[in-house]
Amino acid sequence: MTDADLPIVDAHHHFWELGHGRYPWLEDHVVPFRYGDYTALRQRSYLVDDFRRDHGRHNIVKSVHMEAEWDPRDPVAETRWLHQVHDRTGWPHACVGQAWFGRDDIAAVLAGHAGFPLIRSVRQKPAAAASPDAVVAGAPGSMADPAFRAGYRLLAKHGLHYDLQTPWWHLGEAADLARDFPDTLVILNHTGLPADRSAAGLDGWRAAMAGFAAQPNTAVKISGIGLPGQAWSPDAQSGVVRDTIRLFGADRCMVASNFPVDSLCASYDEIFTGLKAITAGMPPAERRALFHDTAVRVYRPV
Three-state SS across 146-183? HHHHHHHCCHHHHCCEEEECCCHHHHHHHHHHHHHCCC
Which residue ranges in the chain fall short of pLDDT 50? none
Q: Please give the angle made by the CA atoms of 166, 199 and 229, to the nearest 5 degrees.
A: 65
* Local structure of 218: helix, strand or coil: strand
The CA distance from 265 to 230, in Å, is 7
pLDDT of residue 2: 84
pLDDT at 249: 98
Long-range CB contacts for residues 148-152, cutoff 8 Å, separation at least 24: 148/101, 148/102, 148/124, 149/101, 149/177, 149/180, 150/101, 150/102, 151/99, 151/100, 151/101, 151/102, 151/103, 151/106, 151/107, 151/110, 152/101, 152/177, 152/181, 152/184
Q: What is the pLDDT of residues 252-273, one digit of tens each?
A: 999 999 999 999 999 999 999 9
Three-state DSSP string of 57-124: CCCEEEEEEECCCCCCCCHHHHHHHHHHHHHHHCCCCEEEEECCCCCCCHHHHHHHHHCCCCEEEEEC
Residues 212 and 219: their CA atoms lie apart, in Å, by 9
Counting every residue written for the chain, the total comes to: 302
State if pTM tops 0.95.
Answer: yes
Residues 196, 56: Cα–Cα separation, whole Å: 31
pLDDT value for 4: 85
Predicted pLDDT at 156: 98
Task: Report CA-CA distances (Å) from 254 to 79, 231, 274, 298.
Answer: 22, 22, 15, 9
The pLDDT assigned to 68 comes to 98
Residue 46 DSSP code: B
Beta-bridge partner residues of 8: 60
Tell me the backbone φ, ψ of residue 270, rounded to 5 degrees. Answer: -60, -40
Give 3-state DSSP helix, strand, coil % of the chain, rounded to 5: 45, 15, 40
Is the CB of residue 9 less than 8 Å from the CB of residue 301?
yes
Helix ranges, 214-266 (H)? 234-248
Give the class (CATH, top level) of 8-299.
alpha beta
Closest CA to 69 of 141, 2, 15: 15
User: Rounded to 5 degrees, what are φ and ψ at 298?
Assistant: -75, -45
Element (H, E) at 286: helix 284-288
Q: Give me the pLDDT at residue 3, please.
A: 87
For residue 301, say if its preceding peptide bond is cis, omega within 30 degrees of 0. no
Give one DSSP letter per residue of 10-24, joined into a string: EEEE--B-TTSS--I
Displacement of CA 284 from its chain's centroid (Å): 24
> What pLDDT score does 178 carry?
98
